[in-house]
Amino acid sequence: MFEQQRHKHPVALARPRELVVACPPMRSNVNLSRIARAAGCCGVGRMICCGTARLIDKIARDAGQTLSIEVRRTLAPALERLREDGYTLVGLEQTTASKSLFEFAFPRRTALVIGNERQGIDEDTLRTLDHTVEIPVYGLPYSHNAATAAAMALYEYCRQYPAG
Amino acid sequence: MFEQQRHKHPVALARPRELVVACPPMRSNVNLSRIARAAGCCGVGRMICCGTARLIDKIARDAGQTLSIEVRRTLAPALERLREDGYTLVGLEQTTASKSLFEFAFPRRTALVIGNERQGIDEDTLRTLDHTVEIPVYGLPYSHNAATAAAMALYEYCRQYPAG
C-alpha cells in the first residue's frame, strides 16, 4: 500500500520565509547544529548565532548551503536591527506572560529567539521581546531540550505559513 | 515585562494519553534518548523500542520515570498487538500515499511509528500501517533528523489533544 519515497522534491515556497532564527551563546554546538538543520529544512534563510558558534557538518548537514549563518558577539544589537526591519521579536521561553505555542499566531515577519540550554533567555534580552511563547509540557523531565523546542516552534511557524 | 518562570507546573492531562511511540531498531541511542525525552515531556506513557535500545540518562533525563520503555526484538508483533488493542498505526515516513502532518487528524488512540535514521520504515512494517504522514520540507538538507521529526509529530499530536 505505501511505498517509501525518500527523496521527494521539497515544497516550493511562494515567497521567501520572513523568519529569522536568533540564538544567544549556546552551550553546545551540537544543539546549534541541530537547530540549523531543522531551520534549513524549514526553508529559513537566516540564522543569527553568538559567541563561539560553529556548525558541525555531520549534524547540520547541508543546512549552511542555503541558510546564511551570521555569528555575532552578542544578540542585542542584532535584535535591535531586526526590530528596525519590521520583525516581531518572539522568544521561546516560559515567562510570567508567555502564550502557548498551540495558540500563538506568528506574525509572518518573526525573529524567533531561542534560549540557552541552561539559562534560557536572559533578562536583558527578555526586555526587548514583543512576545514569549512556551510549549506546554505534560510529564517528566518537564522541559524540552533547547533544539527540540526550537524544532517544534519552527514546525508551528511552517504550519501557519505552509507556503512562506 | 517578561519574567522567566523556568519551573512552571506541567499541564495536567484530563485523561491519560492514548499515544504510543514505536521505534524500529535505531542506529543511535542518542536519537532514541532524544525521542524519549520529548515523549516524556509530551506525557506519553509508553514507548516501544527494538534491538539494542538503551536510554542515555544524560539525554533522556527523567523521561524513563513516567514513560514505560519496552524493548523488543522486532516491531511487528508489538504493532500487531497494538492494532488488536484499537490503535491506529501511523508511520512517520515519506511514501507514495503520505499525508502532510499539517493536515493529518490523528486518531486519539495512535501508535506513532518512527523510522530508522538511514532506512526509514522498512517495507514489511509499511505494509502493516494504516496511514503514513510526512513533514513538509522546504530547503536543504531536505530531510529532518529522525528525532527532530519525531518531536514535531509529537508536538502536532499534543496540539490536537492538548488535554489528553
The C-alpha angle with vertex B18 and arms to B16 and B21, in degrees rounded to 5, equals 120
- Domain membership of residue B40 (yes or no) is yes
Question: What per-residue confidence (pLDDT) applies to B8?
Answer: 84
Question: Is A6 close to B143, i.e. CB distance below 8 A?
Answer: yes
Sheet with A88-92: list strands edge to edge: A68-72, A46-50, A19-22, A110-113, A88-92, A131-134, A99-100
Range of the structural domain that residue A103 is part of: 26-160
From the list A7, A37, A140, which residue is nearest B63 (CB)?
A140
Question: Are the beta carbons of A144 and B37 separated by less than 8 Å?
Answer: yes
Whether residue B98 is contained in a domain is answered as yes
Give me the mean pLDDT over the B155-160 stretch: 98
B16 falls within a domain: no
Is residue A51, in this structure, part of any structural domain at all? Answer: yes
| Dist CA B81 CA B90 (whole Å) | 14
Beta bridge partners of B90: B112, B131
Instruction: Identify the closest residue of chain A to B90 by CA–CA distance.
Output: A2
Q: Is residue B64 in a domain? A: yes
Examine the pLDDT at B42 and tell me if it is beyond 90: yes
| Structural domain count of chain B | 1
Cβ–Cβ of A144/B2 closer than 8 Å? no
Q: What ipTM is given for this predicted complex? A: 0.97
Q: Which residues contact A83 (CB under 8 A, 6 or more apart)?
A: A89, A128
Query: For each of chain A's 164 residues, which pLDDT tens digit applies?
Result: 799 997 788 999 999 999 999 999 999 999 999 999 999 999 999 999 999 999 999 999 999 999 999 999 999 999 999 999 999 999 999 999 999 999 999 999 999 999 999 999 999 999 999 999 999 999 999 999 999 999 999 999 999 999 99
Determine, yes or no, domain membership for B2. Answer: no
Q: How far is CA B123 from CA A1, A120, B71, B95, B126, in A?
A: 10, 42, 21, 11, 5
Q: For residue range B79-138, what is the model confidence (pLDDT) as tens digits?
A: 999 999 999 999 999 999 999 999 999 999 999 999 999 999 999 999 999 999 999 999
From chain B, the residues in CB contact with A139 under 8 A are: 10, 40-44, 63, 66-67
Q: What is the pLDDT of residue A8?
A: 84
d(CA B116, CA B93): 10
Alpha-carbon torsion angle A153, A157, A160, A162, nearest 10:
-120
Q: How confident is the model at residue B9, as a pLDDT?
A: 87
In a domain, B28, yes or no: yes
- Number of residue pairs across A and B with CB atoms under 8 Å? 206
The Cα A130–Cα A162 span in angstroms is: 23
Question: Which residue in the block uniquely carries the three cell numbers 506525557?
Answer: B43
Mean of the per-residue pLDDT values for chain A?
Answer: 96
Residue B56 has pLDDT above 80, yes or no: yes
- Whole-number Å distance between alpha carbons of A155 and B156: 9
Contact A95 B147 (CB under 8 A): no
Q: What is the pLDDT of residue B1?
A: 79
Residue B139 belongs to domain with CATH number? 3.40.1280.10
Asked, for residue A7, whether it belongs to a domain, the answer is: no
Is the Cβ pair B5, A94 closer than 8 Å? yes
From A4, A132, A145, residue closest to B120, measured CB to CB: A4
Spacing of C-alpha B28 from chain mean position? 15
> Looking at residue B3, what is its pLDDT?
94
User: Mean per-residue pLDDT for B45-68?
Assistant: 95
Distance CA A90, CA B63 (A): 28
Mutate: best of A152, A154, A158, A161, partner B, most B CBs <10 A: A152
Length of chain A: 164
